[in-house]
Amino acid sequence: MKKAIILLILMVFSFQIFAQKNKEKKAEKVAQKQDTIRIANDSLEYEIIIIEVGFDSWLVTQQPKEFYSESFLETRNRFYVQTYNQRVLNPQRYDPDLYFQQINYEPNIHYGLDVNYMLYMYFEYFQKKYKQNLRYY
């Protein structure tokens, strides 16, 4: 009888551990799905897709897009893209796992507030998460 009770307790404990691991895996899958953000301007000519774990939850803690002027965002994005792309071309000095692909951002194209805001916010997140400073070459 004593062995049966111990066996039952072990089975319940094992089931609880298994159930907890399944919950964690499901939560991780949901978090990954939620961390993919796609933004496109009204005409759908330009879009930005950000796939970065943690970006979505970080973004909701930041100032809304209306806080920034479009000219401010465009100016910052031009500078950040230029710096980022220069680092892509210099893999001996900068981690190619962080700087793996150039960003095609043309300064004479009007991308709209949404796309500029998302790009700017991604650069801010990128700098904080990976301890990078895109403000200087």
- Between 15 and 58, the more confident residue is 58
pLDDT at residue 50 in the model:
86
Average pLDDT over the chain reads 80
If you compute the radius of gyration of the chain from its CA atoms, what whole number of angstroms results? 22
Other CB atoms within 10 Å distance of the CB of residue 123: 21
Helix (H) or strand (E) holding 47: strand 47-51
The pTM of the full predicted model, rounded to 2 decimals, is: 0.70
pLDDT at 22 over 80: no
Confidence of residue 30 (pLDDT cuts 50, 70, 90): very low
Confidence of residue 82 (pLDDT cuts 50, 70, 90): very high
pLDDT at residue 49 in the model:
85
Q: Which residues pair with 47 in a beta bridge?
A: 40
pLDDT at 32 over 90: no
* CB distance 115 to 41 below 8 Å: yes
Other CB atoms within 10 Å distance of the CB of residue 77: 23
Residue 18: strand, helix, or coil: helix
6-10, 41-45, 83-87: range with lowest mean pLDDT: 6-10
125-106-136-118 Cα dihedral, nearest 10 degrees = -10
In the chain, where the domains are located = 1-34, 38-137
Token digits of residue 71: 């000219």
pLDDT at residue 132 in the model:
96
Confidence of residue 133 (pLDDT cuts 50, 70, 90): very high
